[in-house]
Amino acid sequence: MPVPAPILYPPFNIVRLSHVDYAVTDLARSRAFYADTLGLRITQEDPDAIYLRAMEERGHHCMILRQADTACVNLLAFKVFAEDDLDKAAAWFAAQNLSPTWVERPYQGRTLAVKDPWGMPLEFYAAMDRLPSIHQNYALYAGVKPLRIEHFNMFSADVDAAVAFYNQMGFKVTEYTEDEDTGRVWAAWMDRKGGVHDIAFTNGTGPRLHHTAFWVPTPLNIIDLLDLMSTTGWIANIERGPGRHGISNAFFLYVLDPDGHRIEIYCSDYQTIDPDHEPIRWDLKDPQRQTLWGAPAPRSWFEEGSVFADCPTTQSDMKAQPIIAP
Amino acid sequence: MPVPAPILYPPFNIVRLSHVDYAVTDLARSRAFYADTLGLRITQEDPDAIYLRAMEERGHHCMILRQADTACVNLLAFKVFAEDDLDKAAAWFAAQNLSPTWVERPYQGRTLAVKDPWGMPLEFYAAMDRLPSIHQNYALYAGVKPLRIEHFNMFSADVDAAVAFYNQMGFKVTEYTEDEDTGRVWAAWMDRKGGVHDIAFTNGTGPRLHHTAFWVPTPLNIIDLLDLMSTTGWIANIERGPGRHGISNAFFLYVLDPDGHRIEIYCSDYQTIDPDHEPIRWDLKDPQRQTLWGAPAPRSWFEEGSVFADCPTTQSDMKAQPIIAP
Amino acid sequence: MPVPAPILYPPFNIVRLSHVDYAVTDLARSRAFYADTLGLRITQEDPDAIYLRAMEERGHHCMILRQADTACVNLLAFKVFAEDDLDKAAAWFAAQNLSPTWVERPYQGRTLAVKDPWGMPLEFYAAMDRLPSIHQNYALYAGVKPLRIEHFNMFSADVDAAVAFYNQMGFKVTEYTEDEDTGRVWAAWMDRKGGVHDIAFTNGTGPRLHHTAFWVPTPLNIIDLLDLMSTTGWIANIERGPGRHGISNAFFLYVLDPDGHRIEIYCSDYQTIDPDHEPIRWDLKDPQRQTLWGAPAPRSWFEEGSVFADCPTTQSDMKAQPIIAP
Amino acid sequence: MPVPAPILYPPFNIVRLSHVDYAVTDLARSRAFYADTLGLRITQEDPDAIYLRAMEERGHHCMILRQADTACVNLLAFKVFAEDDLDKAAAWFAAQNLSPTWVERPYQGRTLAVKDPWGMPLEFYAAMDRLPSIHQNYALYAGVKPLRIEHFNMFSADVDAAVAFYNQMGFKVTEYTEDEDTGRVWAAWMDRKGGVHDIAFTNGTGPRLHHTAFWVPTPLNIIDLLDLMSTTGWIANIERGPGRHGISNAFFLYVLDPDGHRIEIYCSDYQTIDPDHEPIRWDLKDPQRQTLWGAPAPRSWFEEGSVFADCPTTQSDMKAQPIIAP
C-alpha cells in the first residue's frame, strides 16, 4: 500500500480542524458572502476583522476574516485535546527543527504557531471561548444551514511527503488516489475526528489552500444556496457542482468568495472512527473518482488556490494528470 | 356509487379557488403569522387590511386579512375562466333562487357575490390585477416556501347535499369517505384545477371553514416550519402533523393562526385532470383514511372551525364518528 | 409580443399529453432502462412490445417500447376531453388538409392519427383502459419515483410556425426564448394541462423529438437516480445535470436510453392554469435561461435528437446560437 | 451540575457502540422486518441466527438475530480501540468485582463479557472481521438507507448511579434531563464517538433496553419507511413519530420489531467531539424536551422495553413523571 499505516498513539492529540484565518481585500463584501449568503453567524466584528461560527459550533470561531491589501490564508488552526498536548506538540515540532512559537490569540487560550516543513502556517490550541448553543434557534437559519467547519484541502507539490509528515501527527488516511504508472500518491484524505477528512492534499503547485469545507444536512440546502447565489449577484462565484464525489461519497458544491478563496458546501460523508478502518484506493484515471456521476471538474478547480501568508510555492514534478473538463 | 358523476359541461367555468378573506382581531399578530412565519408575501397593506400572495402566484392576492372585532371568514373566492362565465354564473345562481349580486372589490374586475344554499359567502371574478413573477427571486424565500393556495375544506351538516350542489357547479369528486352503515357520504374532495381538490366537505356543524391549504414543494419545507414555529413562540399553534393523509396522499401539517383559523401546509397530492378520473372511496372506519401511517387526529381537528360572516350553523344529524385520538 | 395570444376556445379540447411510442433496437435492454432503472411499471409485455405507466397514472400506458431494426419515435399521443372532441379534431385537421385517419390501438378507444404540417406523427384518443391506482403501493417504488409523464420537447426548423400551428390547437405559450437580433422565437414552451408545458419546440434540425419528460416529487429522487445509474453500468447514459433551468424553474436531469432517446427527469415547475397567465420571455443570450446556476449545456444536448418514423427532417436557417459548453 | 464531569483519560478506550444481539421468536419474520423493510444487509445467515450490517459499516455485524423461545436482548457490544484496551477493561471490571470472562464469538477477535452492576450483559472486542465497503453500491439501497448503528437507550431504575458508573468507563454526558424538585437526573445521553450518544439511560423499570437506533441521511428516508411500513402490513409496528426531539435535535421515528424490540430511525444530531463540550440541561417538565414540536410521547414509549437475558429488573422509586399523551 502506498500510504502509511495510521499512527494509533501520535505524539500529541489533535481533536479536529478548528478554523481558518483569511486575509480579504474588502471586508464588507466578504461579510455579504459568508454571513448573508452562506449563513455563517458573526460572533465578533470590528473594522479590521470579523469572527464567525457555524450553527452547531460552540467554539467562538471557525473562520476569521481580516481586512488586508492582498488576499491570502493567514493560518489553519486545529484544536488539541488538552493543555499538555500543546506542550507535547511544541516538543515534537521542535524535534522536527520547526521552531514553534507561542502566540496570543483573542478568544483562545495558549496557542502554538508553527510552519510545517513546506512553510504552511499552522496553529494549535486546547481552549477557545465557548458560546451558548444556537442550533435550535431556528429563526437564525437562512436557507443554507452551515452546521460546522468540516475540512481543509491543500495543494501540495509532494503529496507523498505531506502524507508521511501529517501521518506522524496522527492524521490517518481514509481515501487516496494513486498514479498507477508511478505508484505515487496523487491525492490523500486524512482524518482526526472520525469522518473522511479533517485535511486533504492534492497534487499541484503548493503549499496552497484548495478549499475550506462546511457541512450542511441535506442536498436540498445546497440547492437552496445555488438558487440564492444565482439570483442575488453571485452567479459568477459558482465554480463546480452540484455533484457527488466518488471519493468520500460527498454531495458537493464549490463556490468562490469575493477574493477567490474556494469554499466547499458538503453533505453526506461517512464515519471512519474505527482505528482499523481501511483506506479506499482510487485510480487517478478513474472518471468516477472526482464525480461519481461522471462529469469532470473544470480546469480552474485543479489549478487555482489561495496562497498562504509568507509561504513561497513550488511546482509539482508529477506528470500525471486528472481528467479535466474541456 | 354514492357520489354523483362529474358534470363535464357545467353551467359556468370555474378555473380554481382564488382567495380567502379572513376577519382577524389583531392584524399585526396575523401579519406576524402569515407573512413572517408562513412566508406569504404582502402585496398591499393599510391599517385595516393586508393582501398577500404565495410565491408562484401572479394574481394580486390569495388571502385578505381584515381587522375586525370578531374573527370569522368573510368569503371564499373563485376565479372563473372568462367574463361571460360571470354572467352565466349570475344566471345560474338566480335560477337556483340564490340572489347573486355584483360587488366592487379592489384589484379585481367584475365580481359576483352569492351565498350558497346554506349561507356560505362565495365570490367569483374573471380578472384580478396581475403582478410580476417572483418565484425565482430566491432571496425572498424564507424556509417555508408557500407556493400557492391549494384548497378550502368546509364543515357541512349535510355533505351529500353539499356535494350534489357543488357538483352541479362543475366540481368533480376525486376521493370520498362513506359511512358504510348508512351509505351516506361523510366527507368528499372535489376539484376544478386538476389536483385532488379545490374544495372539500367534511361532516360536522356547518357551514364553517375547516381550513385553507397552501402548497409547498417538499416535506422538508414543512419540517422547517415546525422547527421555526416551535422555537419562535408559535408552538401552541401547531395542531396536527406532520403526517401523510391516506386521502389525497398529501404530506400535511395543520397549524392555527392567532384567531384559530386553521391552515394546512401541504405537499405531494396527484394529478386528476382526466375527465374520466375515477374517485377513490374510503371507509369511515379505515384508520389509514385520515393518516396513512395510522395516528388518529385530535378531537379539536374534528370539532373546531371558523364561522362564516352572517352565516348561522346547523348541527349534523349523522351519528357516524371517525376515529379520534384519545 | 412575438408569440401568439392563447386561443381560449380551441377547435377541440386536448386534456394533456398522453404517451410516446418508441421504436427500440433491443427490447430487453430498454426494459432494463425504463422499468428496472427509471422505475416505470410494466402494464403489458409481449415479445415485440412493452407498455408502461408511471406511478400516479390510471391510464394503461404513457410509453410503448416496440422492438425494431432502427430506433425512432413512432408517434406522440394526446388525450382529448370527450369522444366528440375526436370528431371535431378530425374535422379540423381535414380543414388543414392534413388527412387524419382512424386507427385501431389496443387498450384505447377510437384513435385519430394525423401528421402535423412537418410530418410529425400524432395520435388522439378520448378513452384508454383505466387501471387501479398504485400510487400508495409504496413497496412498488424503487428510489426514483416517476409519478407521471410530463411533456414532450421537439426540435423544429421553424419554431415560429410550429408555435402558430399548435397555438391554434389550444396550446398556450408559458415561456419562450427570443433571438433579440431577429425577433424570431428560438424556443417555446406550451401547455394544455396547467403546468409549464405539455409540449415545447426548440430551434434545430426537425422535426425530431428532443426528449420526453417524467415528473418526480423531489430533487432527492433525481440524486438517487444519478447514484443508481452511475454505479450500475449506466454512467455513459447521463448527459446533463442535475441543475435548475431558468426556463420553467425545473430541477432537471437528462439521461439517454440505450438507443439514445433522451429522457428528462424533472421536478418543481409551477401552475399556469389561469387563462390570462402571461408568458415569460427569455433572451437567447441570457446564460441563466438554460441553467439558472450558470452551467451551459453540452453540444450534444443542442444537436442530438430522435427522428420520427417516416418523417424527413429539415435544417433550421436560424443563425442564432445558444451558449454551448466548450 | 447534577452530572459528573467527563473522565478524559478513562481506564480503557471504547471507540463506539458496536452491535446488539436479540433473541427473537420467529426468525423469518424478524428477517422480513430488519432486512426487507428497514434495509439492513445480511452478512451471514443460518437456521438459528442472522447477522446484519448497515450500509456504511465495514465491520461484519451491527445486529445479531437469534431464534429463541422467548424474546429478549442477549447482549450489547462495544468496540475498543486496541487489544490492550481489552486487558485494561478486564482488569478494571475485576477491580469493580464484576467477574469479566473471555468468550468466543464468531467473526470477532478476543471478546470480553461482563455484566454491569445491575446485571446488564455487555461485551467488548477490539477486532471484528472487516468487509468490503458497499456504501456506493447504490443498487443495494431500498428506500430507507440505514447507514450505521447509532446508539442504545436503556431504562434504568437509578439513572444517577448508571451515569456515574458509565462515566467512569469514559462515556461523557452530552444532554440530560433533571427533575427539578429532587435534583435527580431523570435521563442522560452519553457518548464515546463524538455524536450526542452511544448510550442513554431513562428512568424506569430496569435494566431494560428501550431501543436501538440507526442513522439515516435525511428525514425523507424516514418518510419513505413510514409509507412502506404502513402499506405492507407493518402499520401496527409504528409507535411514535415522525418528530424532532428537543433533546439531541434528532428527527426521529420509533418502530417495533415483531417481538416488540423498539428501533429508532434517526437523523440529524450534532458533533460533540470537543472534550470541553458542555452538556445541555433539560427540565423534565419542559414539553419540548421530548418533542421540539410539542406532541407528547405515548404511554407505551415510557413503559415498554426489552428485558435482558437473565437480568432481573427493579422498579424505579422516582416519582417524577414526564408528560404523556392522553
Q: Which ipTM value was assigned to this complex?
A: 0.96
CB-based contact A293 C231, cutoff 8 Å: no
Of the pLDDT bands very low, low, confident and very high (cuts 50, 70, 90), residue C51 is very high
CB-based contact D138 C232, cutoff 8 Å: yes
The percent of residues in chain A predicted with pLDDT above 90, rounded, is 91
pLDDT at D324: 85
Collect all residues with Cβ–Cβ distance below 8 Å to A147 and sequence separation of at least 6: A54, A55, A56, A135, A214, A215, A216, A217, D270
User: Which element (helix H / strand E) includes B262?
Assistant: strand B262-267
CB-based contact C288 A220, cutoff 8 Å: no
Nearest to C186 by CA among C209, C158, C211: C158
Report DSSP state, residue A123: E
Bridge-partner residues for B21, per DSSP?
A: B64, B75
Which of B218, B230, B265 should one mutate to test binding to chain D, selecting the residue with the greatest count of D CBs within 10 A?
B230
Bridge-partner residues for D17, per DSSP?
A: D78
| C-alpha to C-alpha distance for B203 and B144, rounded to whole angstroms | 31
Q: What does the pLDDT average to over D92-117?
A: 98
pLDDT surpasses 80 at D216: yes
CB-based contact D273 A15, cutoff 8 Å: yes
**D245 contacts D297 by C-beta, under 8 angstroms:** no
Summarised one tens digit per residue, pLDDT across range A121-168 is: 999 999 999 999 999 999 999 768 999 999 999 999 999 999 999 999
Nearest to B230 by CA among C298, D209, D249: D249
Q: What does the pLDDT average to over A313-320?
A: 91
CA distance, residue D86 to nearest chain C CA (Å): 40
Burial class (CB in 10 A: 0-12, 13-18, 19+), C45: middle
Location of C-alpha cell 508511478: A182
Instruction: Please report, as a single letter, which amino acid is at residue B152.
Output: F
pTM: 0.97
**Chain center to CA of A264:** 9
Summarised one tens digit per residue, pLDDT across range B92-104 is: 999 999 999 999 9
Q: Chain B: which residues have CB within 8 Å of chain C?
A: 8, 15-16, 56, 58-59, 79, 81-82, 127, 130, 133, 135-136, 147-148, 193-194, 217-218, 246, 249, 267-268, 270-271, 273-278, 280, 292
Considering chain A, what is the average pLDDT of its residues? 96
Give the cell for residue C272.
399556469
**C262 contacts C211 by C-beta, under 8 angstroms:** yes
Q: What does the pLDDT average to over C216-238?
A: 96
CA distance, residue A82 to nearest chain D CA (Å): 8
Nearest Cα residue in chain C from A222:
C219
Bridge-partner residues for D73, per DSSP?
A: D22, D308
CB-based contact D292 B236, cutoff 8 Å: no
| C-alpha to C-alpha distance for D53 and D37, rounded to whole angstroms | 14
Summarised one tens digit per residue, pLDDT across range A181-216 is: 999 999 999 999 999 999 999 999 999 999 999 999
Whole-number CA gyration radius for chain C: 19
CA distance, residue D240 to nearest chain A CA (Å): 22
pLDDT at C308: 98
CB-based contact C270 B147, cutoff 8 Å: yes
CA dihedral of C226, C228, C229, C232, whole degrees rounded to 10: 160
Of the pLDDT bands very low, low, confident and very high (cuts 50, 70, 90), residue C96 is very high
Nearest Cα residue in chain A from D250:
A136
- Interface partners of chain C (CB pairs < 8 Å, 3 or more) are A, B, D
Of the pLDDT bands very low, low, confident and very high (cuts 50, 70, 90), residue A287 is confident
Location of C-alpha cell 406532541: D295
Q: What does the pLDDT average to over C250-258?
A: 97
Instruction: Residue C286: count other Cβ atoms within 10 Å of its Cβ.
Output: 15
Q: What does the pLDDT average to over B144-168?
A: 97
Which of helix, strand or coil describes residue C116? Answer: coil
Give the cell for residue D212.
436501538
CA distance, residue A249 to nearest chain C CA (Å): 10
CB-based contact A194 D127, cutoff 8 Å: no
pLDDT at A325: 83
Residue in D59, D127, D274 closest to A15 by CB: D274
pLDDT at D142: 76
**A299 contacts A305 by C-beta, under 8 angstroms:** no
Summarised one tens digit per residue, pLDDT across range B263-303 is: 999 998 899 999 999 999 999 989 898 899 988 899 999 99
Considering chain B, what is the average pLDDT of its residues? 96
A238 contact residues in C (CB cutoff 8 A): 293-294
Considering chain C, what is the average pLDDT of its residues? 96
pLDDT surpasses 90 at D98: yes
Nearest Cα residue in chain C from A230:
C293
pLDDT surpasses 90 at D322: no
pLDDT surpasses 90 at D171: yes
Residue in D230, D244, D294 closest to B294 by CB: D230
Which of C293, C300, C301, C324 should one mutate to test binding to chain A, selecting the residue with the greatest count of A CBs within 10 A?
C293
B231 contact residues in A (CB cutoff 8 A): 136-139
C193 contact residues in B (CB cutoff 8 A): 194, 271, 273
**D174 contacts D280 by C-beta, under 8 angstroms:** yes
pLDDT surpasses 90 at B233: yes
Which of D138, D144, D234 should one mutate to test binding to chain C, selecting the residue with the greatest count of C CBs within 10 A?
D138
CB-based contact C271 B148, cutoff 8 Å: yes
Torsion-angle region of A310 (φ positive above 0: left; ψ -120 to 50: alpha; else: beta): left
CB-based contact D236 B293, cutoff 8 Å: no
Location of C-alpha cell 435492454: C29
pLDDT at A275: 97
Nearest Cα residue in chain D from C36:
D139
Summarised one tens digit per residue, pLDDT across range C25-36 is: 999 999 999 999
Residue in A235, A238, A326 closest to C326 by CB: A326
CA distance, residue A184 to nearest chain C CA (Å): 27
Q: What does the pLDDT average to over D219-223?
A: 96
Location of C-alpha cell 392554469: C273
CA distance, residue B175 to nearest chain C CA (Å): 12
Of the pLDDT bands very low, low, confident and very high (cuts 50, 70, 90), residue D143 is low
- Between A and B, how many CB-CB pairs are < 8 A? 33
Apex CA C285: angle with CA C205 and CA C307, to 5°? 15
Q: Chain A: which residues have CB within 8 Å of chain B?
A: 136-139, 141-143, 218, 220, 224, 227-228, 230-232
pLDDT at A168: 98
pLDDT at A135: 96
CB-based contact D136 A16, cutoff 8 Å: no
Helix boundaries (H) for chain D: 27-31, 83-95, 159-168, 219-230, 287-290, 299-303
Summarised one tens digit per residue, pLDDT across range A231-286 is: 999 999 999 999 999 999 999 999 999 999 999 999 988 999 999 999 999 999 89
Bridge-partner residues for A112, per DSSP?
A: A102, A124
Summarised one tens digit per residue, pLDDT across range C62-87 is: 999 999 999 999 999 999 999 999 99
Of the pLDDT bands very low, low, confident and very high (cuts 50, 70, 90), residue C143 is low
**How far from each other are the two terminal CA atoms of chain C, in whole angstroms?**
33
**C230 contacts A294 by C-beta, under 8 angstroms:** yes
